[in-house]
């Protein structure tokens, strides 16, 4: 099935829902095939400019859809699922949940029996079609997996993982955007101290980060072998790197990831 003919309900167009809608439209899904909802109708003005169907009526959106994307916060999903229970049709629809920390089993218990459910963990780079999305399922039809892969491949890169790793995927891939942003900000602040204006420093850092990631993606090398290429004995790069490590650079990152994980798990 071509995703350009799919009708997609996006329930909860906040930060991530908005990014998914923008990415889908950029990928060629007609705006008129998208039904976006949130509770606060006053905040729908921006998304209405994209010409999607936007409103506060979840039941209407769900009735139109082939695929229902659940994009609400974990503390809001129960209300939504109670509301749309009678409108979900297990025979013709697929539910894809991006809700953090809510298992397929928990979601299934709130939906009509036999509902096909897939969990996805994208990140906000979906907005620019560069999301890394992890998806998992427990025995839906192959064509439903294919369909979900098509949706998220249109928004970047997709990999299939076991459900038990979904929380880890949240930390590494979704929270990861924030960690990298903070890294970039720190690099820019350092760049200003050594002489650049903020805009130039930002430009240099953003392209350097993109270049480093592209090197690894395309060459399939290990980060340390790329580091070896730029560290001259007694040179400035190794001096800077080691100073960062003495101050806990890698350790701070690993501890941060584990702290995020604790918050999801508790």
Q: In what order do the strands lie in the sheet with 131-137?
A: 53-55, 34-37, 8-11, 67-70, 94-97, 116-121, 131-137, 156-160
Is 76 within any annotated ligand binding site?
Answer: no
Distance of closest approach, residue 13 Cβ to ligand NAP, in angstroms: 5
Crossing angle of helices 249-265 and 176-193, in 10° steps, is 150
Site mask for ligand NAP (CB under 6 A), range 130-169, x = bound = ----------------------------------------
Residue 35, H or E segment: strand 34-37
Position 53 contacts ligand NAP (CB under 6 A): no
Tell me the window of 94-102, 111-119, 145-153, 235-243 that interacts with ligand NAP (CB under 6 A).
Answer: 94-102
Position 59 contacts ligand NAP (CB under 6 A): no
Backbone angles phi, psi at 37, to 5 degrees: -130, 155
Residue 101 Rama label (left phi>0; alpha psi -120 to 50; beta): left
Is 167 within any annotated ligand binding site?
Answer: no
Position 240 contacts ligand NAP (CB under 6 A): no
Q: Show Cβ contacts of residue 228 under 8 Å, excluding neighbours closer than 6 positions.
A: none
Position 265 contacts ligand NAP (CB under 6 A): no
Spatial distance between the Cα atoms of 161 and 134, rounded to a whole number of angstroms: 6
Tell me the window of 70-78, 84-92, 213-221, 230-238 that interacts with ligand NAP (CB under 6 A).
Answer: 70-78
Question: Would you tell me which residues interact with ligand NAP (CB under 6 A)?
Answer: 11-17, 37-40, 43, 58, 71-74, 76, 79-80, 98-100, 121-124, 174
């Amino acid at each position: 099935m071509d995703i350009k003919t799919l009708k997609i309900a996006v329930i909860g167009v906040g930060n991530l829902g908005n990014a998914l809608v923008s990415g889908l439209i950029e990928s060629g899904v007609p705006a008129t095939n998208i039904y976006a909802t949130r509770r606060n109708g006053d905040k729908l003005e921006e998304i209405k400019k994209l010409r999607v169907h936007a409103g506060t009526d979840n039941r209407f959106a769900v009735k139109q859809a082939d695929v229902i994307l659940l994009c609400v916060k974990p503390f809001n999903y129960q209300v939504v699922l109670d509301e749309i229970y009678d409108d979900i049709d297990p025979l013709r629809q697929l539910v894809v949940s991006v809700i953090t920390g809510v298992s397929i089993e928990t979601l299934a218990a709130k939906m009509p029996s036999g509902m096909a459910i897939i969990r996805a963990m994208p990140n906000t780079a979906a907005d620019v079609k560069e999301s890394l999305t992890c998806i998992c399922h427990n025995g839906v039809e192959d064509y439903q997996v294919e369909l979900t892969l098509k949706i998220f491949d249109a928004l970047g890169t997709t990999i299939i993982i076991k459900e038990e790793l979904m929380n880890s995927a949240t930390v590494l891939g979704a929270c990861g955007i924030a960690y990298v942003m903070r890294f970039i900000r720190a690099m820019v602040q350092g760049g200003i101290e050594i002489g650049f204006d903020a805009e130039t420093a930002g430009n240099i850092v953003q392209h350097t980060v993109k270049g480093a990631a592209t090197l690894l993606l395309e060459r399939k090398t290990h980060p340390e072998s790329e580091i070896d290429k730029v560290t001259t004995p007694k040179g400035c790069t190794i001096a800077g790197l080691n100073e960062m490590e003495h101050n806990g650079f890698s350790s701070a990152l690993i501890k941060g990831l584990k702290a995020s994980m604790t918050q999801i798990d508790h």
